[in-house]
Structure 1
Amino acid sequence: MKQSLQLRTSQHLALTPQLQQSIRLLQLSTLELHQELETLLIENPMLERVDDALDNAVRLLADGCINNASVQNESEFKSPETTTTDSVEINPANDTPDNQVEVEAQNAGDDWSFDEAPISGPKSNQDDEDGRPQLEAAQTTLREYLLEQMRISIREPRDRALIELVIDAIDENGYLCESLEEIHASLPIDLCVEIEELQFALNMLQSFEPEGVGARTTAECLAIQIKRFPKIPFVTRRLALQIVQDYLPLFAQRDFTKLRKFLQCDDEDLREAQVVIRQCNPKPGLAFAAAKSDYVVPDVVVKKIGDEWQVMLNRDVMPRLRINQMYANLMKQQRGDTNLNPQLQEARWLIKNMRQRFDTILRVAQAIVERQYNFFTHGAVAMRPLVLREIADTLGLHESTISRVTTQKFMLTPHGMFELKYFFGSHVATETGGEASSTAIRALIKQLIGEEDQKKPLSDSKIADILGEQGMVIARRTVAKYREALKIPPVSLRKSL
């Protein structure tokens, strides 16, 4: 074989750095977007954030007084100036993400990209006496609460030490996670602690609040609470104790037929015992657990104005960026001949991509509201089938772009907060030849179960028959799948006396 040089021409698609950044920003959630932005602000000195949370912060001196000089200097430094903005048209409605708008530095010339935004100083609240921040009080833990009761009710140092030893073995649910034998085996022999002393310490602990703390099993926890409930008839209390101690699995399965047979009681007595048991708390220690609330901030808000549903971006989650004024003036004086040109280009790209991200989210949200108009008017039962391709074809975008936009982006509606993906669902054929959304079918199943007679709950087959009468023919296993997705128990666990 002879070696030779050959010249060939070919075409291929390449992702530019700006396009890669645009795709990455589009798929980020609001929290991830702000985290990414903080990193970029640190790395790029040309980029400046106008809506920084610390802009209006009040600085305090060592003695706790307000530093008025720093506030004044900040307001002088951040006074708004009239600047020129880049007239960049954002048009994300292209065929694919590869065809999205790109900003080229060489076409920009000497025009810099700025975002004008009014900056206001710290607002004074006349309702507050001193303007000091209100600090949240530290939450009392379960261990601290139990130790406090021990110090009040127990005086002997040895008994206190043993009770504190048992308290240390209590988990966050209020249960004793170690047996008394294990605790006894871990103690030094020279302390001469008997197992009976640990049992006494546990009995004292079980007399503390919250009721049921120190139990070793769920049955013991419920029994402790039932014994301490006031104003309960003796027969009802005895029957409730017998159920939780001997027949708790049958009670959890709501097998009332076997319960009546084993307990030899009628429906009225069993119903009264059931009311008492339901008043118990199976996890008494959770009341002292540190609650971690997860907050979701909507990206778009839907409101009804007149007869139309209007979609608006949530301005609170939209970062306001601009080019740093000091560095921009420096580059103008040196006619752009500095080492900051790459950072300037990256800052311009980021500002452009941020605008494009929120513009794309708004367009997709508007398209969803137009197609799910009945949902916003009548609720989930009026949801229509919708797939990503339908929105993509309407807006001239690729399905992957719609998928990125609808992932971890939330919409606030009069019916609640929903992820944008919630409005997409498969379809189920109807007898009339139409289609029904799977979301609407789940809403109907939830509505039917919510209105059922608890003494005679609807089975999955019965629900399928009812839906069939309304023209939606679905199988029993499909009803069971939707019911499990709604976290609704089966018919045997929904039955009551």
Structure 2
Amino acid sequence: MQSQPFLGLAQRQQLSLTPQLRQALHLLQCSSQELALEIDQALATNPLLELADEAPESGAEPLVVDASPWGSGRSHLVSDDIPEPADTPGLAEHLLQQLHATRVSERDAALVWALIGELDDRGYLEFDPQVLAEQLPDGIEVADAEWRVALRLLQSFDPAGVAARDLPECLRLQLHVRHAEWSKPLLDLAAQLTEHLDDLAAARWGQLCARLRCDRESLEAARAVLRQLEPRPARAWSAEATHYAVPDVLVRVVRGQWQCVMNPAVERPIRVSPGLAADLEGLKNAGGLLAQLRDARSLLQGLQQRRQTVLRVAECIIGQQPGFREQGMAGLRALAQKDVAHLLELHESTVSRAVRLKYLSTPWGVFELRQFFSAAVATESGGETSAQAVQVLMASLLADELASKPLSDMRLAQLLAERGVVVARRTVAKYREAMGVLPASLRKS
């Protein structure tokens, strides 16, 4: 049967983000240094924008809670000057540049864009199609196969290993990209070795040789290959940002009460020039300037939304952590981003962007907002504490260990149990690695 041309109307759902929404999401996840760059660029390119004389209003009343456990003697200083941000783009911008240069459908590009927004500071992706699907507009359905295609596309970008779900996958992605540097048998052995990293760290050479059916010389060669790989693909884009942290929200103790307020040093107040905006109202042939006026107002609206969202999330986090006000990080209780999202009636992805590279200045020090989210850990009394609090306790134990006899993971688990925190040895090893502490065999001096 020969097909005939047909002209008709059909309805379909399409995944798309308006420029205003893209800008608002981008501003929300910007760090203080990245935001300074955005404002500088807007001032340089849009003649309708100018610096305002006064700081913008946050749009929300400060949250005031009894701060008597803190006392009134503690104080902190916050600089009004933001360090000059680095000129190099962030990892997200680097990936988006590659996405724009890749010929893909608008739908696939939108899915990759969503995945980029979920990358953590290491460049890893805790990929859950169900969670990401919930972030899409109502009525939009994405099959698991589509997510897999978007993930493979993102994992093909530079740096090698980006968007991996765990360390073994990160290493295997890099082996695939750098396959020309080593022989195939050596690559295959190195790829198999990524599944036995615990045994490799513990130097269980005999077990590894038996499991992988290789000799010690081949095992050492595969180990040398893995040592040339990068376990944190985003390291090159985060090195500059780790030199300083400008708090976005300040916790102030005033007459026995504490308040959460935005740091006026983070965002220089800007506004639309009143005179120029008024002049444009009477012009008929000012299409380009009117477009810049819309862009300026859209930017101001995005900045206002950013201020309100970050402040609301910070207030909610501190309000849900009474133990932190009494003990600092050792008093953190279990808290998930979905809990804050539910309390504020926001989407979990909005909370995730709001806490990305945002810092809170408190009488206990300056902390990243992400540090206040932690999984629940059972205590001997039947209650719960947080993984962050357990790591603080582990840090105090490790600080008192003897250099000649460092504490093993099993011994740390026993000491934690004596203090009422019951965790498995593997959990202790996981927390120790997250703290950047080497195994006991490598700490011994």
Q: Residues 375 and 493 of structure 1: is their aligned pair in 2 closer, same or farther, counting only changes over 3 Å?
A: same
Match of 1:417 in 2: 366
Amino acid at match of 1:48: E
Match of 1:9 in 2: 11
Alpha-carbon distance between aligned partners in 1 of 2:356 and 2:370, rounded to the nearest angstrom: 7
Structure 2 matches for 1:48-447, cutoff 5 A?
Answer: 48-50=50-52, 294-334=243-283, 339-447=288-396
1:47-88 CA distance string (max 9 Å, x none): 112269xxxxxxxxxxxxxxxxxxxxxxxxxxxxxxxxxxxx
Amino acid at match of 2:19: P
Q: SS in structure 2 opposite 1:6? A: coil
Q: SS in structure 2 opposite 1:302? A: strand
Alpha-carbon distance between aligned partners in 2 of 1:342 and 1:406, rounded to the nearest angstrom: 32
Q: Residues 7 and 345 of structure 1: is their aligned pair in 2 closer, same or farther, counting only changes over 3 Å?
A: same
Match of 1:124 in 2: none
CA contact (8 A) 1:309 1:369 kept: no
Q: Residues 4 and 495 of structure 1: is their aligned pair in 2 closer, same or farther, counting only changes over 3 Å?
A: closer
Q: Residues 12 and 481 of structure 1: is their aligned pair in 2 closer, same or farther, counting only changes over 3 Å?
A: closer
Tell me the CA shift for residue 413 of structure 1: 1.3
Q: SS in structure 2 opposite 1:317? A: coil
Structure 1 vs Structure 2 CA RMSD:
3.1
Amino acid at match of 1:324: S
Alpha-carbon distance between aligned partners in 2 of 1:470 and 1:412, rounded to the nearest angstrom: 30
Q: SS in structure 2 opposite 1:340? A: helix
Higher RCO structure (Cα 8 Å, ≥6 apart): 2
Q: Residues 439 and 431 of structure 1: is their aligned pair in 2 closer, same or farther, counting only changes over 3 Å?
A: same
Amino acid at match of 2:34: E
1:248-287 CA distance string (max 9 Å, x none): xxxxxxxxxxxxxxxxxxxxxxxxxxxxxxxxxxxxxxxx
Size of the alignment, in residue pairs? 263
Alpha-carbon distance between aligned partners in 2 of 1:394 and 1:336, rounded to the nearest angstrom: 48
Amino acid at match of 1:32: E
Match of 1:19 in 2: 21
Match of 1:62 in 2: none
Q: Flag structure 2 segments of 5+ consecutive residues without an equivalent.
A: 55-133, 139-240
Amino acid at match of 1:463: L
Tell me the CA shift for residue 96 of structure 1: 6.4
| Bigger radius of gyration | 1
TM-score (norm 1): 0.48
Match of 1:40 among 19, 39, 42: 42
CA contact (8 A) 1:299 1:411 kept: yes
Tell me the CA shift for residue 396 of structure 1: 1.4
Amino acid at match of 2:38: E
Alpha-carbon distance between aligned partners in 2 of 1:344 and 1:447, rounded to the nearest angstrom: 56
Structure 1 position 474 matched with structure 2 position 426: no
Q: Flag structure 1 segments of 5+ consecutive residues without an equivalent.
A: 53-94, 100-291
Alpha-carbon distance between aligned partners in 2 of 1:424 and 1:485, rounded to the nearest angstrom: 14
Structure 1 position 460 matched with structure 2 position 409: yes
CA contact (8 A) 1:23 1:97 kept: no
CA contact (8 A) 1:97 1:397 kept: no
Tell me the CA shift for residue 435 of structure 1: 2.6
Tell me the CA shift for residue 447 of structure 1: 1.6
1:188-234 CA distance string (max 9 Å, x none): xxxxxxxxxxxxxxxxxxxxxxxxxxxxxxxxxxxxxxxxxxxxxxx
Amino acid at match of 2:393: L
Match of 1:138 in 2: none
Which range moved further: 406-415 or 320-329? Answer: 320-329
Q: Residues 448 and 396 of structure 1: is their aligned pair in 2 closer, same or farther, counting only changes over 3 Å?
A: same
Q: Residues 485 and 339 of structure 1: is their aligned pair in 2 closer, same or farther, counting only changes over 3 Å?
A: closer
Alpha-carbon distance between aligned partners in 2 of 1:317 and 1:98, rounded to the nearest angstrom: 31
CA contact (8 A) 1:298 1:412 kept: yes
Q: Residues 5 and 301 of structure 1: is their aligned pair in 2 closer, same or farther, counting only changes over 3 Å?
A: same
CA contact (8 A) 1:457 1:495 kept: yes
Tell me the CA shift for residue 456 of structure 1: 6.0
Tell me the CA shift for residue 365 of structure 1: 0.4
- Percent identity over the alignment? 42
Match of 2:178 in 1: none
Tell me the CA shift for residue 386 of structure 1: 1.4
Alpha-carbon distance between aligned partners in 2 of 1:33 and 1:469, rounded to the nearest angstrom: 46
Alpha-carbon distance between aligned partners in 1 of 2:293 and 2:395, rounded to the nearest angstrom: 55
Alpha-carbon distance between aligned partners in 2 of 1:316 and 1:408, rounded to the nearest angstrom: 16
